[in-house]
Amino acid sequence: MPAKVYTQKEAKVTAIKKKTLAVIGYGSQGHAHALNLKESGCNVIIGLYKGSKSIKVAKRQGFEVVEVAEATKRADVIMIGVPDMKQAEVYEKEIKPNLSKGKTLLFTHGFAIHFGLIKPPRGVSVIMVAPKGPGHVVRSQFKEGKGVPALIAVLKGSSKDSKATALSWAAGVGAAKAGILETTFKEETETDLFGEQAVLCGGASALVEAGFETLVEAGYAPEMAYFECLHELKLIVDLMIESGIAGMRFSISETAKFGDVTRGPRVINGNVKKSMKSILKEIQSGKFAKEWVKEYEAGLPKYNKLLEDGEKHPIEETGKRLRELMSWIPKKNIKGAQASYS
């Protein structure tokens, strides 16, 4: 059954305009939510740890910045905008001791709630507002008078007005201009993780590297392999986003179409789908979450090793060299960038 889509008719900022809203963390999503809500007429304060590099930035952009505990005490709605693996520590040390009945916790991803890393007390409502785009896009679309679609969810046991609060917050960040869809913490978390692991990040990067390796091992120039297996991927993805898979096929040559429909299923075959189902089961059972928590608590040895190995893959050096020839592609030095509790 298709999800209901809420628009500006049902979702208005009014419900939160008389509340104090706290955004904990001033990273990708945090800064976008805070700025958009402020410009929507809401009272927003920022909660950051003492010494955070983001304090000056948030103050320069017009916010009152206080420590996390103080922000929690003062706010009616508290958005936890720090990375998944840091949320539980921040919650236990700074947020939980300062929560009182009637307050609302807001998440932009369901991981910590769904897998029990955070267990809010009775009397505290828990909602989710998850824009389907990175923070800088949420911000840029808002500034253009547009919006990014968002998902909302309300955890069982929350107050009756929690859905209205979620819709109002989503409207405040601009999502009502695009569409707001209702989901659950379970559905958002499990589908988000599956998409990242099997298709968007894990699946796509592994497919690109395997294609590059196949051509280079067959004696073709790495530059040719890069163009065919990575560079032109954006063209195809853009066509899919604009018109769907059928629309993409309409836009490519008959030769490409025939190769697509006859050879694609040989690459992404039944064995691949079995692997995808296995990955989904690991997500649903909590096995992935436990593995990720254990890895984080151990200091990320496997995580860092795999990332370092990936940076040494020949496709990276080839791509770096070729991108220098493409003046129309923005040059971004994002190596080593990572989310931080800011």
Q: Hey, what are 75's tokens? A: 């706010």
Query: How is residue 181 annotated by DSSP?
Result: E
CA dist., res. 136 & res. 122, Å (int): 34
CA dist., res. 128 & res. 243, Å (int): 29
- 31, 33, 109, 114: the catalytic one is 109
Q: CA-CA distances (angstroms) from residue 40 to 143, 198, 238?
A: 11, 37, 31
114 noted as active-site residue: no
Judge contact between 340 and 25, C-beta under 8 A. no
Length of the chain, please? 342
Q: How many alpha carbons lie under 13 Å from residue 228 in its C-beta half-sphere? A: 14
3-state SS of 210-237 is: HHHHHHHHCCCCHHHHHHHHHHCHHHHH
Q: Hey, what are 201's tokens? A: 């990040």
Q: Which residues are catalytic?
A: 109
